[in-house]
Amino acid sequence: MSTETFETTPQPGVAERALDTATDMSRSLGEMVGTLRAAVDRLSQTVAEARRPGTALSTVSAITREAPLASLFVAFLFGIAVARRR
């Protein structure tokens, strides 16, 4: 009769698994925040370029400031036209 002892690798406990999960989530959230921040920066830059005088967005902004109700009516009609196509 031989009495051999088998060494088993210790399984991680609940606390260790929770810490690993929290670390993974923290990294994932950090990556998502970085990606979102880059997208917002690109969008802000694009809008800033589009608002330069003489561009379409600056013209629409000026018209909207001068006649807000007429602009709202045009936007409403545009929405109806797009909705009917579907």
Helix (H) or strand (E) holding 31: helix 14-50
Per-residue model confidence (pLDDT) at position 1: 58
Q: Quick one: how far is CA 32 from the chain centroid?
A: 8
Per-residue model confidence (pLDDT) at position 2: 64
Distances (CA, A) of 54 to 25, 40, 49, 61, 75: 46, 24, 11, 11, 21
Per-residue model confidence (pLDDT) at position 37: 96
Q: Is the pTM of this model over 0.75?
A: no
Residues of the chain short of pLDDT 50, as ranges, are: none
Q: How far apart, in whole angstroms, are the C-alpha atoms of residue 35 and residue 40? A: 9
Per-residue model confidence (pLDDT) at position 9: 66
Sign of CA dihedral 29, 30, 34, 35: negative
